[in-house]
Amino acid sequence: MSFLSKITRWLQKQNAVMLIYRSLFNTYEKHWDFHARSRQSTISHILSGVKSEEEFDRKGRDFANFLKKMIRPGSVVLDLGCGIGRVSQFLVPHCTEVHGVDVSGRNIRLAREKCRGIKGLFFHKNNGRDIKLFADNTFDFAFATLMLQHLEKEDALSYLLEIHRVLKPGSSVYLDFLNILNTWNLKMFINHSKRYKYESVAKLRYYTKNEVRALLNAIGFKVLEITVDIYIRVLAEAVKPG
Ligand SMILES: C[S@@+](CC[C@H](N)C(=O)[O-])C[C@H]1O[C@@H](n2cnc3c(N)ncnc32)[C@H](O)[C@@H]1O
């Protein structure tokens, strides 16, 4: 067999591998459960590049310190796409309750194990699309970090509507989205599009600042702050009749 045919065969095999992967892990739940087969595996998929659980937790604590300035004492908080509680474990001392929600049953199990004994911290597995397990006007604050970027835009929008529903009137939400106009993100997007024919269900989705603002406004949020670098980071208030 010539070198060229060998290469062609190999490439065909890669496509087959991607097709098999795609058909086996064709839902958010299956994808994230696959990566959550052990604590080490999920840590490296939640935060790529981290070298240890200590580093993973340190970054979680830093992020909780950033969020706590947005939260009033006594608040009930929602952490959507909570993973294994990286952020919530450090946020809960500043609130009354934190409820972490995740589509991956394995992540939820790992979160309960990791955060055993922490008072006020609760974890729930959901269906990957809504948070109907919570009544309207339940939360004083909500956040979703490193999560919406992995969803189809329709699914992200459905969650934004849900967040609006479960927030008390005048309460706020912190969200982050990947910025398509950032040079690095644009390069990653183009490279990814060239390389992969069969995409993962959790592939990255990108936004512009104006797009995020328009979506949030249309749902009934008032954008309070918006900063843009590699991420579009937003603090928005749920406007609704009190
Ligand atoms: C990159 S991790 C971020 C985890 C956590 N927010 C953190 O910063 O440590 C993305 C998380 O979102 C969860 N997730 C992905 N799609 C979801 C969906 N449709 N509904 C709920 N959770 C989802 C995954 O299981 C995973 O735990």
Nearest CA-CA partner of 34 in 103, 99, 86: 103
Element (H, E) at 239: none
Give the pLDDT of residue 3: 73
Cβ–ligand 1 contact at 85 (below 6 Å): no
pTM for this entry: 0.92
Q: Which pLDDT tens digits describe the chain residue by residue (242 residues)?
A: 567 666 656 655 666 767 777 778 789 999 999 999 999 999 999 999 999 999 999 999 999 999 999 999 999 999 999 999 999 999 999 999 999 999 999 999 999 999 999 999 999 999 999 999 999 999 999 999 999 999 999 999 999 999 999 999 999 999 999 999 999 999 999 888 877 655 788 999 999 999 999 999 999 999 999 999 999 999 999 999 86
Nearest CA-CA partner of 147 in 39, 231, 91: 231
Atom of ligand 1 nearest to the CA of 33: 25
Give the pLDDT of residue 54: 97
Ligand 1 centroid vs 82 CA: distance in angstroms?
6
Ligand 1 centroid vs 83 CA: distance in angstroms?
5
> 28-238: which CATH topology?
Rossmann fold (3.40.50)
Ligand 1 centroid vs 77 CA: distance in angstroms?
16
* Cβ neighbourhood burial of 142 (10 Å; 0-12, 13-18, 19+): buried
Cβ–ligand 1 contact at 57 (below 6 Å): no
Domain spans, the chain: 28-238
